[in-house]
Amino acid sequence: MIRRSLAMPKPQSALTRLSALAPLDDRAVAALSDAIAQAQPVRARRELMAEGNAIDHAKLIVSGWAARMRLLPDGRRQLLSFLLPGDLVGLCEQPAPLAVSTVVALTDVTACAAPPAAVSPTLAQAYATSRALDEGYLLAQIVRLGRYTAQERIGDLLLELLERLQLAGLASQGSFDLPLTQETLADALGLTSVHVNRMLQLARKQDSLHWKNSRLTLPDPGRLAQEVGRVAVRVSGEPIRHAFDVRP
Amino acid sequence: MIRRSLAMPKPQSALTRLSALAPLDDRAVAALSDAIAQAQPVRARRELMAEGNAIDHAKLIVSGWAARMRLLPDGRRQLLSFLLPGDLVGLCEQPAPLAVSTVVALTDVTACAAPPAAVSPTLAQAYATSRALDEGYLLAQIVRLGRYTAQERIGDLLLELLERLQLAGLASQGSFDLPLTQETLADALGLTSVHVNRMLQLARKQDSLHWKNSRLTLPDPGRLAQEVGRVAVRVSGEPIRHAFDVRP
DNA sequence: CGTATAATTGAAACAACTCAACACGCGTGG
DNA sequence: CCACGCGTGTTGAGTTGTTTCAATTATACG
């Protein structure tokens, strides 16, 4: 797979995502546009934040992929979540906040300071929804690692990425740019790259996915979701009933 | 192991924890005391919230143990986090929030509505710190499941519980009440109860822990932390430097 | 006591890991 | 333009950690 994405960065995807989370008023859009215009480049493999360091400012990912991760003393590495355009990192309200995870750029990234929530109630709302989604995705990651098989982990994660990229307007027809190595995927899925490789081959053979030149296509996301038992993450709106409601 | 804890519920532990997170003013203490006085009992195995349902009110755990969990359609179960006295659940700011996880009582529990953050800035601060800690513990759970061996998972989780219970004044001398079955532990650790059983025996043989009659003792938390490579979760204060700082 | 729930044990099967080697594409510098 | 090196992907064989299934023992609780 090719690492460096050939696609042009699309600075508007961050705005697309946040607008989808809450209807932003002019003030919010203006503040975001200003901030995005000031975005700074960060090279692949460089850190945007380091675990244990003070957080001076919440950041907004404008383009490129980053990840939250933890390194163990013996060199093992675990990716906690992926950060995509429009994602926020380091949002918190306690005084003197410390980063609870390291944030590393997986591709070349551009990121800017996230405008303060006080700018506009609609922006605060978008941030709140973003935080809630983040939490939902963390929980999904826990379930993947705790109870899913290797194949399910891969399928579920790719579906999640599709879902999230769609929100930012970065996916179409079950297809999107996946600028990761198998090793990075393995670090996110709690597997070895060798095993990820084998399971990917299996998935290709079963026609569950195509992945060539950093372009991933899921020919039938619905079927795949069925197979891995996946439900989309929802954090607001009307309550839903699950098939597995139990114990009244 | 004995399921039902014999110890008396201590309604003040919730207040102890929140006071430790931020210096609470009188207004905050009064609001919390009022709320705690109104706490409702919830029987073991009953749900405090159901995934996908609307959250009417954030809740504060006053006594007993609960857990956030997800059930898979095929019956597999994954505990996401434990909820101990003084823990908050369902804190969120977006409109029409939905629960992203089911919350189930592991023991008999008492819980109350969490007073609104608007009551006092110090209360809001305590909530913010609590949220940050929650996130830190979710990340720790991800690392456990993704990169730790079964033995490390057990050790690390027990150390985390010790750390958290100490904050609420519910542990002393590396010893605390652990009102869980091995099966519940397994559901939290992404293992089977059979394997948890075997690894517990091993840990006992190595004198890493004692667990009898629902009382757990870690004879040497420091050594255990060393063995599993654990660092305490911190979310505010002075930045720290890790041994594994990399790539300037 | 009797019954249900939890803990324990053993044997066999399986999923994922380790180690090591090799193939491939791509950019770099000779 | 080719040779080289490096990062990435691929493959095979053997090992390990964990699960499965089933049976047995211990423990709480009515």
Cα separation, B41 vs B38, in Å, equals 10
Closest CA to B49 of A61, A239, A44: A239
Decide if B64 contacts B3 (C-beta within 8 A). no
DSSP state at residue B74: T
Q: Looking at residue A243, what is its pLDDT?
A: 37
Mind telling me how many Å the CA of A102 is from chain B's nearest CA?
10
**Chain D bases under 7 Å from protein CB?**
7-12, 17-22, 27-29
Q: Does B29 touch chain A (CB under 8 A)?
A: no
Decide if B207 contacts B219 (C-beta within 8 A). yes
Beta-bridge mates of residue A83? A66
Cα separation, A19 vs A14, in Å, equals 9
- Spatial CB neighbours of B229, under 8 Å, sequence gap ≥ 6: A72, A73, A74, B152
* Residue of chain A whose alpha carbon sits nearest to that of B78: A143
Using the Cα atoms of residue B164, residue A52, residue A70 and residue A170 in order, give the sign of their dihedral: positive
Q: Looking at residue A160, what is its pLDDT?
A: 98
DSSP-derived 3-state class of residue B214? coil
Q: Looking at residue A215, what is its pLDDT?
A: 96
Q: Does B229 touch chain A (CB under 8 A)?
A: yes
Cα separation, B30 vs B66, in Å, equals 25
Q: Does A131 touch chain B (CB under 8 A)?
A: yes
Q: Looking at residue B7, what is its pLDDT?
A: 58
Mean pLDDT, 10 residues at a time, chain B of 248 residues: 54 95 98 98 96 95 98 94 98 92 97 98 98 98 98 98 97 96 98 98 97 96 93 82 37
SS (H, E, C) chain A: CCCCCCCCCCCHHHHHHHHHHCCCCHHHHHHHHHHHHCCEEECCCCEEECCCCECCCCEEEEECCEEEEEECCCCCEEEEEEECCCCEECCCCCCCEECCCEEEECCCEEEEECCCHHHCHHHHHHHHHHHHHHHHHHHHHHHHHHHCCHHHHHHHHHHHHHHHHHHCCCEECCEEECCCCHHHHHHHHCCCHHHHHHHHHHHHHCCCCEEECCEEECCCHHHHHHHHCCCCCCCECCCCCCCCCCCC
pLDDT tens column, A108-142:
999 999 999 999 999 999 999 999 999 999 999 99
Cα separation, A127 vs B60, in Å, equals 24
Query: Helix-strand-coil percent breakdown of chain B, rounded to 5?
Result: 40, 20, 40
Q: Looking at residue A238, what is its pLDDT?
A: 76
Q: Which two tokens stand for residue A94?
A: 């306690």
CA-based angle B144:A61:A128, to the nearest 5? 75
CA-based angle B242:B228:B247, to the nearest 5? 30
Left (φ > 0), alpha (ψ -120 to 50) or beta: where does A169 sit?
Answer: left
Decide if A47 contacts B247 (C-beta within 8 A). yes
Mind telling me how many Å the CA of A4 is from chain B's nearest CA?
20
Closest CA to A115 of A224, A219, A27: A27
- For A138-169, give one letter per residue: b (16+ CB within 10 A) or e: bbbbbbbbbbbebbbbbbbbbbbbbbbbebbb
DSSP state at residue B236: B
Phi, then psi, of B204 in degrees rounded to 5: -65, -45
Mind telling me how many Å the CA of A77 is from chain B's nearest CA?
7
State which residues of chain A have pLDDT below 70: 1-8, 240-248
Burial class of residue B248, CB neighbours in 10 A (0-12, 13-18, 19+): exposed
Chain B environment of A22 (Cβ under 8 Å): 94
- Spatial CB neighbours of A192, under 8 Å, sequence gap ≥ 6: A186
pLDDT tens column, B86-109:
999 999 998 889 999 999 999 999
Mutate to test the interface with A, among B142, B156, B234 (most CBs of A within 10 A): B142
Mutate to test the interface with B, among A48, A131, A138, A143 (most CBs of B within 10 A): A143
Residues near strand D (C-beta below 7 A) are A 1, 3, 181-183, 193-194, 197-198, 200-201; B 2-4, 149-151, 190-192, 194-195, 198-199, 213
Pick out the nucleotide with least CA–C1' distance to A195. C16
Query: Residue A244 to residues A192, B39, B52, B58: CA-CA distances in angstroms?
Result: 32, 29, 11, 24
A6-13 long-range CB contacts below 8 Å, 24 or more apart?
Answer: A6/A214, A7/A177, A9/A62, A9/A63, A9/A64, A9/A110, A10/A63, A10/A85, A10/A169, A10/A170, A11/A36, A11/A39, A11/A62, A11/A63, A11/A110, A12/A169, A13/A63, A13/A85, A13/A86, A13/A168, A13/A169, A13/A170
Q: Looking at residue B8, what is its pLDDT?
A: 66
pTM of the model: 0.94
Mind telling me how many Å the CA of A194 is from chain B's nearest CA?
16
Chain A environment of B55 (Cβ under 8 Å): none
DSSP-derived 3-state class of residue B100? coil
Q: Looking at residue B3, what is its pLDDT?
A: 42
Mutate to test the interface with B, among A43, A89, A94 (most CBs of B within 10 A): A94
Chain B environment of A103 (Cβ under 8 Å): none
Q: Nearest by CB to B139, which of A50, A100, A246?
A: A100
Query: Do residue A98 and residue B53 have CB atoms under 8 angstroms apart?
Result: no
Query: Do residue B229 and residue A74 have CB atoms under 8 angstroms apart?
Result: yes
Q: Which two tokens stand for residue A82?
A: 């992926």
